[in-house]
Chains A and B, each alone.
Chain A
Amino acid sequence: MAMIDAGGIRLHVQRTGPADGRTPHATVVLVHGLLTDSLASYYFTVAPAFAAAGLDVVMYDLRGHGRSERPPDGYTLDHNIDDLEALLDRLGITGPVHLVGNSYGGTIAFGHAARHPDRTASLTLIESEPATTAWAEKLGGILRRVLTELAHNEPDALAWIAANRGHNTARLAKGAARLARETTLGRDIPASRVLTEEQIRAVRCPVLGVYGGDSDLVDLVPLQEELLTDFRPVVLPGHEHSVLVEAAPAVGGHILDLIHSVGGVRAGVR
């Protein structure tokens, strides 16, 4: 396990690559989602296939999540984008990378791409969207609802989740409740600075959008198609928001197709 100091915060990073010692032909950076998520969602799903395909694979735990440091405050979207920026600098990755983000991780990845078009070869948004006012309102509503329920009566809320969603989900919810209790995350994220339409339109690299057919986020496809120059939507029927872990081989295959279509050669490597 590597802990890396990314501009004043210690982040847990895992990096893997081709096992046979080949020089990787491009770097892919995988950004996970909010509260219940960690880099494990990539580590045990798509990362081995990406490494086998000859890619340099970088995964990290967001601040407050997984094994990364958990400061009491500093959880706006800009904090997360700053962390990603500092981490890539710290790892010496300066050339264009392929960014992949799941859920909130996609919003971070998009923010990074908007800030650094020259450092982005492609972008994959899994069940995700750029930060807009509508996004902040929606996420604020979800966070408020979840956190109020848990703060109000955590044991009852967890028992309900265990009975209706299973033991594993209840345990993840318990971890999420702890994160929310110990930090200002629940207040910070909805208060994040969002992108203007102009900033969204300025992202001109190929953008793959992967959605579960039964997820509400499918409704965002027309909007992204209108805003983005090169948007490639893929809808996987029968899946919801957790399409990454439920349909990892399909999701991974689409990402590799995107990376190959862009041409990994021009991407920066070590």
Chain B
Amino acid sequence: MNPTQPVPAQPTTDTVLADITGMLRTLLAEYGEDDVVIGMSTTFNRDLELESIDLVTLAGLLEERYGRRVNLAEFLAGMEFDEIIELTVGRLVEYVVWSLKTTEAG
């Protein structure tokens, strides 16, 4: 991800996945992990071994990139604990695309 690149007018699953993959690489680099494969079916918990405090950092990166339209805390607060444990990158990508479209229309 190039952080200076503006958010495209029509964010697609592909562009958002690329953005989020970049953010996750930044996070994982702190743990010295730099060769993890990240795709839509990757889970945050089991595959990436991210802890909930890492998701707080991710929430900040998402807000930096997309503004307050994308609120990870609200998204996860609506989920059951087990759903959060099973959360995939794909589900987050879909939520981001949906949030950006909805706010654009509204």
Contact = CB atoms under 8 A, between A and B. Distances in A.
Contact of B77 (A1, A48, A168, A172): A48
A39 B56 contact: yes
Nearest to B46: A167
A44 interface: yes
List 5 tightest A-B contacts by C-beta distance, closest first: A40-B52, A44-B76, A38-B53, A66-B53, A48-B77
B47 to A, nearest CB: 11
B74 A168 contact: no
A40 B56 contact: yes
B1 interface: no
Interface in B19-43: none
Interface of B: 45-46, 49, 51-53, 55-57, 59-60, 68, 71-74, 76-77, 81, 84-85
Given A48-B71, A48-B74, A246-B81, A1 B60 contact: yes
Interface string A21-54: 0000000000000000011110111111100000
Contacts of B49: 171
Given A40-B56, A41-B52, A246-B81, 6 more contacts: A19-B68, A43-B56, A44-B52, A46-B77, A67-B56, A67-B57
Contacts of A40: 51-53, 55-56
A43 B57 contact: no
Given A40-B52, A167-B46, A168-B45, A47 B57 contact: no
B81 A171 contact: no
Contacts of B72: 44
A171 B47 CA distance: 12
Interface of A: 1, 14, 16, 19, 38-41, 43-49, 61, 66-67, 167-168, 171-172, 175, 245-246, 248
A43 B51 contact: no
Contacts of A14: 56
A46 B76 CA distance: 11
A168 B53 CA distance: 13
A145 to B, nearest CB: 24
A245 B73 contact: no
A249 to B, nearest CB: 9
A19 B74 CA distance: 11
Contacts of B74: 48
Given A44-B76, A48-B71, A38 B57 contact: no
Contacts of B76: 44
Contacts of A49: 77
11 contacts: A19-B68, A38-B52, A39-B53, A40-B51, A40-B53, A43-B56, A44-B84, A45-B77, A47-B73, A49-B77, A168-B85
B92 to A, nearest CB: 13
Nearest to A45: B77
A243 to B, nearest CB: 11
B84 A175 contact: no
